[in-house]
Amino acid sequence: MNKNSEVIIIIDDEKRMCDSLSALLTGDGYIVESFQKSIEAVEVIRNKKIDLVITDIKMPEMNGLEILKIVKEVDSDLPVILMTGYASLDTAIEAVASGAYDYLLKPVEFNHLELAINRALEKRRAGLARLQLLEELRLSNIILERRMGELNALYEAGKSIGSTANLKDLLHQIILLASTVTEAQVGSIMLIDEGGEFLTIEAAIGLEKKIISSTRLPIGESIAGTVAQSGLPLIIEDVENDEKFKRINKEKYGRASMLCCPLRIKNKIIGVINLANKQGGEIFSKNDLRLLTTFASQAAIAVDDANQFEKNRRRLVEFEILHEISRELPNIQNINDFRSVLIDKLKRIFPIDYSIWFNWNANNRTLFPHGISGKVAIPLTESGGIDLKKVSMDEITIGPIDTDSPEFSDVHKLTELLVHNLKGNNSFPQPNMAYMAIPMYRQGEFAHVFYLGADSDHAYSEDDISLAKLVISQAALLFEKELSLLNTTRLLTMGNMISEISHDLRKPLTSIKGALQVLRMKHPELSNNSELFKSTEDEIHRLNDLVRELVDFSNPNKYQTEKLDLRDVVGRASELIWPDLKKLNIEFESEFTNVNWDCIVNRNQILEIFLNIFLNAIDAMPDGGKLRVEGLMEKPDHKKVDYLAIRIIDNGIGIKKENIPKVFDRYFTSKDTGTGLGLAIVERVISAHNGTLKVDSIEGKGTTFTLYFPN
């Protein structure tokens, strides 16, 4: 401290004394103020920074000792020099006891006074320096305590977030700890969605629920979007008046300071932490930003760990669900029970408020509901919801649609298609919900759609959809295998039973047939003219054919299969019909594309169906014609893969248009002597070989049968 900044107060009722001392001390470079009235001097002492007080003891209004006491009350370290012309031992003792620095007798020699002033000011300077050091030490201790508090808060935060596995609880814990560390009153954690396009609020304090649920911030926009894009933390002193962000964020944060820091895992930004409204209206400091950055690095690791834990947990739940479904499948008797089991299991992973099971109708290419469960909440209604079981299924049939279109190659597009159709239907009103539509296949062919919905603030995540696809598809496969095994067991039991019944049926049929023949021989006039007799004989023949078919069906050797070249079977069938072809002057030719024609079939059955179709073609060409067989690879209608296709073409009389849908019906025939079983057997055998067939015909021009075998 130099003289030019040191202030000395002189108090003496003698003007001459004040002036002379002021002149001397001002000349030495001090700032001097002199007072003849003690009251005025005391007022200055109370309200101004003073370094030394020189006062006469004997003063009107207030004596020097009284002034000394007031000075010590204001600043106990402020030195006071007392002067008196009436010295006494008692006065000197009282002055020293009251804290006077020195006691001088008038007339005062300036050398003695200057020496006392210099010593007093040196003591003052030393005292102020000591006080300054103490204050600096106090401030350093405060800063140290704050740093220790911050480190302790970070340590406790690290322990806390490291011990929380549930992501939702973890995020809430992170934002609470971050706001505590930085003294923020408003804050949020925003995570980037799986598509990498938007930020959504996953945890918050001090924000309205409406803002939390509705915020969907594009990356690159606003403060949070900018930080998520750049990966650089930001500190805003006043959001409302910030040139770049004031209009965008005013609704959420108003006139407040704000921090925003990225959540980073290695080189990937997964979200941001926003903090605003520091307590007391203060502005966030760079130290606050440093703290938040340190905290955010811990939080990001914890969030990533929680995500990994959640993925592993969901994977474990997935295996548990599949294991439970596989155990329960033997008790599931129908598709409705299967659907209920799936819903109960999937509800353990994500919310499901309702579901619709759609079946695919390949003929008219439409989806129609087979089962509906749950309720859909409808706002502003007294009932609070609509019972989906009361909705007419015909009213929500969807189609016609193309299963080869992009809608069926992508779950999201399929979901959008169904949501659009359902929302556009007056009988099926819906609020905003989470949706997913999972396509299901049977033997590689599109068969069902399982449509799930929930009244939720957030859409189903990609993990939800992936898990649902996996569980549903695997469960459907297990269910299909279980049904196949059950059907095989039933068929085996049925075959044994049919074999026994058909064997027992042959005896009474033989007896009845023999009795009719005896009657015909003994009473020809009755049998020849009786429609009843003729009808009875026809029915006996039909029953005999049925028994023969039952025997064939129940014969296990009938269904033994082997790998055969289909060209060889066609060749053998053509050899068997060669006499008929030659007799009726029918030309026969065959042509096969160069592919592998090996197929797992039953030789006798496949030979039988070719013979049936060849003989039908011969019957359709009584005046001669051409019978052609073409072999090629082709995709059947409603199928997605190629099959081995054998096309049998004749240029005979053809089939009437109205009869084409009936040709595979049992006992339907347009021939006078036909039984109506030939083509019915063809269809049954092809189905038993997991194939399909179709017929095209134009009356008067010919008929084409196409038989498809799995490759």
Report whether pLDDT(647) > 90: yes
In 79-109, which ranges are continuous DSSP H helix?
Answer: 89-97
Residues with Cβ within 8 Å of 34's Cβ and at least 6 positions away in sequence, in order, are: 9, 10, 11, 12, 18, 19, 21, 22
Q: Which two tokens stand for residue 99?
A: 């804290």
In the block, tokens 């269904």 appear at: 559
Residue ranges per structural domain of the chain = 3-132, 164-311, 332-460, 560-709
pLDDT in tens, 10-51: 999 888 888 888 888 888 888 889 999 888 888 998 888 888
Given a contact cutoff of 8 angstroms between Cβ atoms, the answer to whether 235 and 256 are in contact is no
Report whether pLDDT(157) > 60: no
Provide the pairing of β-strand 366-376 with 354-361: antiparallel
Residues with Cβ within 8 Å of 646's Cβ and at least 6 positions away in sequence, in order, are: 566, 570, 629, 630, 631, 706, 707, 709
* pLDDT at site 193: 81
CA-based angle 127:132:133, to the nearest 5?
A: 100
CA-based angle 562:676:576, to the nearest 5?
A: 50
Decide if 164-311 and 332-460 have a common fold: yes
* pLDDT at site 509: 72
Rounded Cα distance between 624 and 208, Å, is 88
Report whether pLDDT(632) > 90: yes
Report whether pLDDT(396) > 80: no
Superfamily name and number for 3-132: Response regulator (3.40.50.2300)
In the block, tokens 């649609």 appear at: 401
Given a contact cutoff of 8 angstroms between Cβ atoms, the answer to whether 639 and 692 are in contact is yes
> If phi over 0 gives left and psi between -120 and 50 gives alpha, with beta otherwise, what is residue 278?
beta
Q: What's domain 332-460's architecture?
A: 2-Layer Sandwich (3.30)
Higher pLDDT, 660 or 422: 660
| SS3 call for 707 | strand
Higher pLDDT, 38 or 180: 38
Element spanning 322, H or E: helix 286-328
* pLDDT at site 708: 93
pLDDT in tens, 358-374: 777 766 667 777 777 77
pLDDT in tens, 429-471: 444 567 888 887 776 677 788 888 887 767 787 778 777 887 7
Rounded Cα distance between 467 and 74, Å, is 77
Residues with Cβ within 8 Å of 471's Cβ and at least 6 positions away in sequence, in order, are: 318, 321, 322, 325, 342, 345, 346
Rounded Cα distance between 652 and 638, Å, is 29
Given a contact cutoff of 8 angstroms between Cβ atoms, the answer to whether 256 and 276 are in contact is yes
Query: Right CATH number for 560-709 from 3.30.565.10, 3.40.50.2000, 3.40.47.10, 3.40.50.150?
Result: 3.30.565.10
Rounded Cα distance between 417 and 439, Å, is 12
> If phi over 0 gives left and psi between -120 and 50 gives alpha, with beta otherwise, what is residue 109?
beta
* pLDDT at site 439: 81
Which residue from 602, 629, 605, 606 is spatially nearest to 617, judged by alpha carbons? 629
Note if the bond before 556 is cis, omega within 30 degrees: no
Residue at 113: amino acid letter: L
Superfamily name and number for 164-311: GAF domain (3.30.450.40)
